[in-house]
Structure 1
Amino acid sequence: MRRLILPIATLFASPAIAESFDRPIPQAQSATAEFWYAMACIALLAAMLAVHGLVSRR
């Protein structure tokens, strides 16, 4: 069984079997996505200010 491990590992790790990597093409960001990103940033800041207010009272 130990003699089979190296040939099997070599067979499965062969670069001839592997596919080439195709880089994804970045898409342009839409105005709607920019709007929702801005809303999420504002909501995060508001939540951080609320937590700061709660923690500073104690």
Structure 2
Amino acid sequence: MRFLILLFLASPAAATEFDRPIPNAQSATAELWFALASILLIAALFAVGRVVAKR
């Protein structure tokens, strides 16, 4: 009996269609934070490059 239940659950008739999730648009606040983080990362890399070049 368990085999029949497992067979039914594994059949394509019991499967539901997969709905691909749609990502939400990025908000203006998220874009601002990303731009700020990018600028700070570039500044930090530049500072590290200057410190390493002096040695």
The answer to whether TM tops 0.5 is yes
Larger RCO: Structure 1 or Structure 2 (Cα < 8 Å, ≥ 6 residues apart)? 2
Q: Normalised by the size of structure 1, how large is the TM-score? A: 0.61
2:46 aligns with 49
Kindly report the root-mean-square deviation, in angstroms, between the aligned alpha carbons of the 2 structures. 2.3
Q: Please list every run of 5 or more consecutive structure 1 residues that lacks an aligned counterpart in the other structure.
A: 1-10
- Matched-pair identity in %: 59
In the TM superposition, structure 1's runs of 4+ consecutive aligned residues that sit over 4 Å from their partners are 18-21
The answer for unaligned runs of 5 or more in structure 2 is 1-5
Structure 2-normalised TM-score? 0.64
